Amino acid sequence: MTQPEDQNPNFLGRATDEIKGIGREGLSHPSTKPVLGGAVIGTVAAILLPVLTIPIGLIGGAAIALWLRIKR
């Protein structure tokens, strides 16, 4: 039994598909705004916490928001 192309069963494949979709569609993609919001939250956390750098906070926040979108 085969699965459709858009129903990729593994996390890395779904993440890759989602990132490609964000890259192609820009702000019209449904995941773009939540991922950007996560990046902003991560950046603010990095500014407030001395143990994080801004790039780590930005990437971490975006990664967490993407993970939350994909795990559904």
- Tens of pLDDT, residue by residue over 9-47, are 688 888 899 999 999 999 999 999 999 999 999 999 999
Contacts of 56 (CB under 8 A, 6+ apart): 46
What confidence score (pLDDT) does residue 12 get?
A: 87
Is 60 exceeded by the pLDDT of residue 4? no
pTM: 0.78
> What digits encode the pLDDT tens for the residues 39-68?
999 999 999 998 889 999 999 999 999 999
Distance CA 53, CA 49 (A): 8
Q: Domain range holding 41?
A: 32-72
Residue 41 lies in a domain: yes
Is the residue at 3 inside a domain? no
Q: Could you tell me if residue 42 is inside a domain?
A: yes
Give residue 25's pLDDT: 93
| Residue 27: inside a domain | no
Q: DSSP H helical segments within 1-72, as ranges?
A: 11-25, 32-48, 54-70
